[in-house]
Amino acid sequence: MKKLLILGATHGEVNVVKFAQSKGYYVIVTDNHENWIVSPAKAVADEAWNISWSDIDALTQKCLKERVDGVLSGFSEFRVENMIKLCNELNLPCYINMEQLEITRDKDKFKKLCRKYSVPVVNEYSPESKDLVYPVIIKPTDRAGSIGINVAYNQEEYLKYLDLAYSLSPSKNVIVEDYIDDGIKFDCSYVIYDNQAYLVETCDTIMLSKEKGNETLQKAWTFPSKHELEYIEKVDGNVRNMLNNMGMRYGVANISFFYRNGGFYVFETGFRLGGGHSYDYQRATGGIDYLELLVDYALNEPLKTIHPIPAERDVAVTYNIYVKCKNDDIIRKVCGVDAITKIEGVVTYVQYIYEGKEIDSQRPFKASMITICAKTIDELFQKVAIINDNFKVETNSNCYAIFGELEEKELRKSFR
Question: What would the DSSP string read from start to end of 171-182?
Answer: T--EEEEE---S
| Residue 347 confidence (pLDDT) | 97
Q: What is the mean pLDDT of the chain?
A: 93
Of the candidates 203, 208, 206, the residue with the CA atom closest to the CA atom of residue 186? 203
When the candidates are 3.30.470.20, 3.40.50.150, 3.30.300.30, 3.40.190.10, the CATH number that belongs to 98-117+182-312 is 3.30.470.20
Do domains 123-178 and 314-416 share one topology? The answer is no
Do 254 and 201 form a contact (C-beta atoms < 8 A)? Answer: no
Q: What is the pTM of this model?
A: 0.90
Cα dist. 186→9, 126, 169, 218 in Å?
Answer: 29, 24, 25, 12
- Hey, is 218 helix, strand or coil? strand
When the candidates are 3.40.50.20, 3.40.462.40, 2.120.10.30, 3.40.50.2300, the CATH number that belongs to 3-94 is 3.40.50.20
Q: What is the CATH code for 314-416?
A: 3.90.1170
Domain 123-178: which topology? Dna Ligase; domain 1 (3.30.1490)
Per-residue model confidence as pLDDT tens digits over 14-47: 999 999 999 999 999 999 999 999 999 999 999 9
| Residue 357 confidence (pLDDT) | 92
| 145 pLDDT tier (thresholds 50, 70, 90) | low
**Sign of the alpha-carbon torsion through 54, 366, 293, 21:** positive
Count the helices and strands in the chain (H runs, E runs): 14, 19
| Residue 3 confidence (pLDDT) | 98
| 146 pLDDT tier (thresholds 50, 70, 90) | low
Radius of gyration of the chain (CA): 21
| 188 pLDDT tier (thresholds 50, 70, 90) | very high
Do 36 and 42 form a contact (C-beta atoms < 8 A)? Answer: yes
Of the candidates 214, 206, 396, the residue with the CA atom closest to the CA atom of residue 320? 206
pLDDT exceeds 90 at position 210: no
Task: Over range 98-110, report the average pLDDT.
Answer: 85
Locate the domains of the chain by residue range: 3-94, 98-117+182-312, 123-178, 314-416
pLDDT exceeds 70 at position 143: no
Least confident of 4-8, 74-78, 269-273, 400-404: 74-78
Most confident of 126-130, 219-223, 273-277: 219-223
Neighbours of 41 (CB within 10 A): 25
Neighbours of 157 (CB within 10 A): 17
| 172 pLDDT tier (thresholds 50, 70, 90) | confident
Residues pairing with 260 in the sheet: 263
